Amino acid sequence: MLSASAPRAFVLGNFVLACCWHVGRQPMPGETLEADHFHAEPGGKGLNVAIGLRRLGADVQTLIGCGQDRAADALLALLTAEGLPNNHVHRLPGASGWGSGLIGADGHNSIAVYLGANRLLTAEHAHAARGSIGASQLVYGQFETSLAAVEAAFAIAHTHGVPTVLNPSPWRTPPQALAATTHTLIVNAVEAAALLNLSGDPVPTAAQATQTVAARLPALGGAWPALRRLVITLGAEGALGMERAAQAEPWRAWHAAAPRIQAVDTVGAGDAFASGYCTAVLAGQPLPVALAWGNLCGAHVAAQRGVLTALPGAAWLHQALAGTVDGAVPLSI
């Protein structure tokens, strides 16, 4: 799948012990429901992406903050089992992160996260990893960790000419310095609405979204000067990708349809998409192909319960690509 020399990725990780309850439907305020199934596993957006990239064949370094507790012991054991080094994993005062998810019968979820030690990482922790960041071929960040660490790592990557990929989730408006060093944004429909100032309404279906997004691209591109790609994941609708060669160049757009599946549990599907997308980027594939690889990995996780057991490996992706894969369709904007 990838070259004999594994491509290098650096992930601004995070760790939570994720507890998930499967319910028939989401409860109303004040209501108690009996769950049909429960599972707990190590998780977190950055950890999932780091493991996903490693399984798909990348050489991965990850910066993670964890606590002084048994959950952190479990994290270190997991990293060893997955072949991920722990030289940028820091055990910090207090508790590790915890997550709580409610998964409905339709596979959709609602999640609350206590980030704990993830928030204790600093810019200094990122600077201590400067060598690994500068030697990487892609740096991935998200917002379930210290914003200061993400900002510092992206600045280092930008200085070394390393492409950066940001999933600004949970959503908050990024500081100007971070926007100035972000090459690619990956957002879901709700995050895209906030990013594009759509009055809080989620981006509509792919068939309706293109012109809505395109109308706001000039303003977005000005606020994010280094931005070359915007990727919007739309669940069962697939993914929308927009790209420009340089700041003054026009945007081009593609839509990639998602594989048809019966969604069982969408927790972690976005992280799996990011892993597949970044794997394609590391392999030198163009944006339309990266969207398709992301869709395959995201659908694979959404069709199963749990995340760690569902994140695919390189052999699975190779086999999936040998079958019929819907390509991305160019769009007019």
pLDDT digits (tens, 9 = 90+) for 288-300: 999 999 999 999 9
Dist. CA 123–CA 116, nearest whole Å: 17
- 201 within some domain: yes
The answer on pLDDT for 45 being more than 80 is yes
- 33 within some domain: no
- 252 within some domain: yes
Other Cβ atoms within 10 Å of 3 Cβ, number: 10
pLDDT in the model for residue 213: 83
- 105 within some domain: no
Domain that holds residue 159: 8-15+44-96+116-331
The answer on pLDDT for 3 being more than 60 is no
The CATH number of the domain where 133 resides is what? 3.40.1190.20
**Residues 6 or more apart whose Cβ sits within 8 Å of residue 250:** 244
- 48 within some domain: yes
* Phi and psi at residue 186, to the nearest 5°: -115, 120
Contact in structure between 162 and 281 (CB atoms under 8 Å): no
Nearest to 54 by CA among 78, 87, 16, 84: 84
pLDDT tens digits along 91-129: 999 999 998 889 888 877 788 889 999 999 999 999 999
Mean pLDDT computed over 142-149:
96
- 187 within some domain: yes
- Name the token pair of 78: 């997991």
pLDDT in the model for residue 218: 84
Contact in structure between 33 and 292 (CB atoms under 8 Å): no
Contact in structure between 183 and 163 (CB atoms under 8 Å): yes
- 29 within some domain: no
pTM of the model as a whole: 0.91
pLDDT tens digits along 66-88: 999 999 999 999 999 999 999 99
Q: How many distinct structural domains can be found in the chain?
A: 1
